Each structure stands twice: as C-alpha cells, then as structure tokens.
Chain A
C-alpha cells in the first residue's frame, strides 16, 4: 500500500518569497508522484509529475519538485511566490503507470501575503 503525508496544512509566504510545500511518501515500490493545485470552486489541475528518470521535475507556473528516494520526499518549490499562487496543493502517489487510482495527501493551503 502507498500513502502520502503533507507537512503543514497551512503555509503563508510573502509575495516574492520562496514557496516550499512538503510531501513525504510511503511506498513498497518506486512510486509515481504528482502535485496538483486546486483553486476555489474548481477541480484539480496537474502541476507536475515524477515517473522515472530525472529526479528534478519542472512543472507549470514556475513550480518544480525533486524526488529524493533516500528521504522519501517530493517537496514542491517555487523561487518567487505570486499572489495568484494562493490555492490548495495536493501531493499524490500511485504505484505504476497502469495503476487505476491516485492516493492523495491531506493538502496544504498556501496563502500569499502582499
């Protein structure tokens, strides 16, 4: 079985500051890892994903994440926060390319202060 833990249900940063959202996973096999963003009253949008290969993954809107097997982590970062980044962020895991479902973390609400 796989699971995801997101540390910090709420994170606040100032506009222009570094964004760091933490995600740790538990998996018996090499996982596939994802970050999704959810804006109010909307569905989820994929930011980026790690499957195999390069451990530093770049996504949309300037976000990136690094897969660290030794730390079982997949933290999401963005060098400079923008007001439009305020949203809820979800880390998710699955076990294979053909897996039929995602297991989500509990989410982190990002607030960007002016």
Chain B
C-alpha cells in the first residue's frame, strides 16, 4: 500500500505570493491533518479534515486554509506569504482521525522557503 504523498517536495516563493500544497492520504484513510514544522516553534497543528469537513483547527491566522476533496486528497493554501511561513509542512493521514486510537501516518513533507 502506498504511503502518504505530498507534492511538491520543495517550493520557493517570495513574500506576498500565495502557495498551494497537496497531500494524498493512504488509500482508505479519510482523515487528513496538517502540521507546520519550524526550528523556532517546532511542530504545530494547523487543521484536520474528515469527509471534506474541517473538524479541528489550530492557532494560525486566516491566511492558512485548506480543503479536502471527495477522494480524501487535501490541499492547504497560504496566502500573502511572510518570511515566517518558511517551514516544513507535514501532512498526516489516518483512518478516522482519532489520533489516540488510530495511527497517523506522515508524509515526507513539503519544504517551503519564502524569500
């Protein structure tokens, strides 16, 4: 079974631009979560989607948004990029989303650099 895939793996943008990252979960998984990883703030939860609905959201500004499609694939969008948005963005999928009872499988991440 294929793992979680994220595209692109690397991305360079300039301040003020917007960016869209994509995540394809493991087949059969309906929950997709996004995390931001930076050296200063560590791993922080962005949001979680299940059956095309956002069920949980972390403490990030409205510039960060996401969506999930009927095939469970998910995208996250960051508008008006800032230098501080440079990070590794990790996607994780699980069967139903309850992280205590269901293992989250992480993708390799998308490395975003904002210049």
B100 touches A99 (CB 8 A): yes
Interface Cβ pair total, 8 Å cutoff: 63
Partner of A32, one of B44, B100, B109: B100
B42 touches A51 (CB 8 A): no
What's the tally of chain B residues with a CB closer than 8 Å to chain A? Answer: 23
Determine the interface band of chain A, counting residues with CB < 8 A from chain B.
20 to 34
Closest B residue, CB atoms, query A106: B42
Kindly list chain A residues whose C-beta atoms are within 8 Å of the C-beta of B109: 42-43
Q: Residues of B with Cβ closer than 8 Å to A?
A: 4, 33, 42-45, 48, 55-56, 58, 90, 92, 97-101, 103-104, 106-109
Beyond A43-B90, A51-B100, A94-B100, whether A101 also contacts B33 by CB under 8 A is: yes
Partner of A99, one of B4, B42, B58, B99: B99
B108 touches A42 (CB 8 A): yes
